[in-house]
Amino acid sequence: MYSANPDRYNKLKYRRCGNSGLLLPAISFGLWHNFGEVDSIAKCKAILFNAFDLGITHFDLANNYGPPPGAAETTFGKILKEDLGRYRDELIISSKAGWPMWPGPYGDLGSKKYLVASLDQSLKRMGLDYVDIFYHHRPDPNTPMEETMSALDLMVRQGKALYVGISSYSAEETRKAAAILKELGTPCLIHQPKYSMLDRWVENGLLDAVEETGMGCITFSSLAQGLLTNKYLKGIPEGSRASRPLGNGALEADQLTPENILRIQQLDLLAKERGQSLAQMALAWVLKDSRITSVIIGASKPEQVQDAVGCLDKPSFTNEELNRINSILAS
């Protein structure tokens, strides 16, 4: 039986999520990859136990994580039942819905029919009475936002989610969603966008909208699906994500252009000068913005989690370093 490290809360920093009372670890753990049917339970346990022992209390899932869709929640549910469940009140568990999950018109996007059914399925797979955070995973241009937000409000009132959030919404959509939820009486806790050194779209108004509406912000793909690690400094290694068939978040080989390879090599040199790995510098760079509550990492082995948490040892940047990073990225 797993027993958590008694010193786990001395290892990590926790940040307030927007204007709420909730604190999230600066590093959260996502089960997007490596927790599907083909992955061994023993390996999954080793990764999750290591994360919790380091003070990572937030575990992020979605209905379609696997593969196949639903498998990550099933795996996580088994681990909760066998080991982590006795720490439930120390955990923040989130899930989402918004991408295709089952055939027909009710298994995708943002209708109340889909979202309510999806959360019920997620709770059954994980063996939970409630999730701490439930997100709408992406905007639905064809469903009135009032319907989607009323579904999130309903989940809180039913006790199936403590908080709700949104993911990948534009700045304008974020403000509208926040206004609707505020009127309904269920604040929008958090926004989950894609954000990294190589994908900075949130800087064009979204982070301002998050701050104005009192939300927290938790980022995904902050290592650009592995590109901002030492894995691809010399091209595509065998067995890496870029070598897999496309889909399930695989890094597309066309992202590994000569220009991008040169950029990550130059960034790696700067990271070494700072006494960090490239991944640690990339995570610290995202976390330098006070509007960012947490970054979600993934891992295929426990030591990757340990390395990621090490980003907090050197969180600040000089103006010279920031200017150098911007110059590299603009080249």
pLDDT in tens, 227-269: 999 988 876 666 555 555 544 455 666 678 888 899 999 999 9
Percent above pLDDT 70 for the chain = 94
Q: Which of 121, 126, 128 is nearest to 107 (CA)?
A: 121
Mean pLDDT, residues 115-127 taken together = 98
Which burial class, exposed, middle or buried, applies to 228 when counting CB atoms under 10 A from its CB (0-12, 13-18, 19+)?
A: buried
pLDDT of residue 234: 79
Question: Residue 8 corresponds to which amino acid?
Answer: R
Task: Give the least confident one: 229-233, 242-246, 279-283, 308-312.
Answer: 242-246
Give the pLDDT confidence score for residue 248 in this predicted structure: 46
Q: Is the pLDDT of residue 114 over 90?
A: yes
**pLDDT of 31 strictly over 80:** yes
For residues 248 and 66, the answer to whether their CB atoms sit within 8 Å is yes
Percent of all residues in the chain with a pLDDT value above 90, rounded to a whole number: 90
pLDDT band of 119, cuts 50, 70, 90: very high
What value does the mean pLDDT take over residues 264-286? 98
Q: What is the DSSP letter of 246?
A: S
The domains found in the chain, sorted by start residue, are 12-226+285-313 (3.20.20.100)
Measured over the CA atoms of residue 297, residue 299, residue 302 and residue 306, the dihedral's sign is: negative
> Mean pLDDT over all residues of the chain?
95
pLDDT for res 257: 86
Q: What local confidence, expressed as pLDDT, does residue 240 receive?
A: 56
127-174 tens-digit pLDDT:
999 999 999 999 999 999 999 999 999 999 999 999 999 999 999 999
Question: Which pTM value belongs to this model?
Answer: 0.95
